[in-house]
Chains A and B, each alone.
Chain A
Amino acid sequence: MNDVAILNFNMGNLFSVKCALNYVGLKSVVTDNAEIIKNSKSLIIPGVGAFPEAMKRLKEKKLDNAIYDCNEKGKIIIGICLGMQLLFSESNEIKKTKGLDLVKGEVEKFSEKSNLETKASFNVGWNKINTNKFKKNDSYVSDLDKTDMYFIHSYHVKPRTQEIKTSTSFFYKKEFISSVKQDHIQGFQFHPEKSGEYGIKIYKKLKKELENQK
Chain B
Amino acid sequence: MNIRIIPKLDVKNHNLVKGINLEGLRVLGNPRKFAEKYYNEGADELIYHDVVASLYQRNNLSSLIKNTSENIFLPMLVGGGITNTDQIETILNSGADRVFLNTAALDSPPIIDNIVKKYGSSTLVVSLEVVRSNEKYICRKDFGREETNKELIDWAKEVEFRGAGEIIVTSIDSDGTGLGFDLKIAEKLSNNIKIPFVINGGISSVEQIDQLLNISNPSGIAIGSAFHYGHIDNDYVTQHKLDGNIDFLNKKQKYKNFGKLRIQEIKKYLKKKFKLN
Contacts and interface: CB of A to CB of B under 8 A. Distances in A.
A200 to B, nearest CB: 6
A83 to B, nearest CB: 15
B165 interface: yes
Nearest to B39: A196
A118 B4 CA distance: 16
Interface band, chain B: 20 to 34
B94 interface: yes
A111 interface: no
Interface residues of A, number: 35
- Interface of B, secondary structure class, is loop
A49 B71 CA distance: 25
Given A13-B95, A196-B74, A117 B217 contact: yes
B4 A122 contact: no
B166 interface: yes
A108 interface: no
Contact of A200 (B73, B92, B95): B73
Interface in A23-70: 23, 48-50
Contacts of A19: 69-71, 73, 95
B85 interface: no
A152 interface: yes
Nearest to B125: A124
B100 to A, nearest CB: 13
Contacts of A153: 122
A119 interface: yes
Contacts of A127: 1-2
B97 A152 contact: yes
Nearest to A115: B1
Contact of A126 (B4, B165, B166, B195): B4
A196 B44 CA distance: 9
A48 B71 CA distance: 21
A125 interface: yes
A92 interface: no
Contacts of B194: 118-120
Given A19-B70, A125-B1, A146-B277, A48 B123 contact: yes
Nearest to A119: B194
Contacts of A106: none
Contacts of B75: 150, 152, 191, 194
B120 A15 contact: no
Interface string A114-144: 0001111010111100000000000000000
B3 to A, nearest CB: 9
Nearest to B4: A125
A195 B73 contact: yes
A15 B93 CA distance: 6
Most buried by A among B94, B122, B194, B217: B122
A193 interface: yes
B121 interface: yes
B196 interface: yes
A199 interface: yes
Contacts of B1: 125, 127, 172
A200 B69 CA distance: 13
A23 B70 contact: yes
Given A49-B120, A124-B166, A154-B122, A16 B39 contact: no
Instruction: Pick the 6 closest A-B CB pairs, nearest first.
Output: A19-B69, A15-B95, A119-B194, A16-B95, A194-B75, A126-B2
Given A118-B194, A194-B97, 7 more contacts: A15-B95, A16-B69, A48-B120, A122-B165, A193-B73, A196-B42, A197-B73
Interface of B: 1-2, 4, 39, 42, 44, 66, 69-71, 73-75, 92-95, 97-98, 119-123, 165-166, 194-196, 217, 219-220, 277
20 contacts: A13-B95, A13-B97, A15-B66, A15-B95, A19-B71, A23-B70, A23-B73, A119-B194, A124-B165, A124-B219, A125-B2, A125-B219, A126-B4, A126-B44, A152-B75, A191-B75, A194-B73, A194-B75, A196-B39, A199-B73
Interface of A: 13-16, 19-20, 22-23, 48-50, 117-120, 122, 124-127, 146, 148, 150, 152-154, 172, 191, 193-197, 199-200
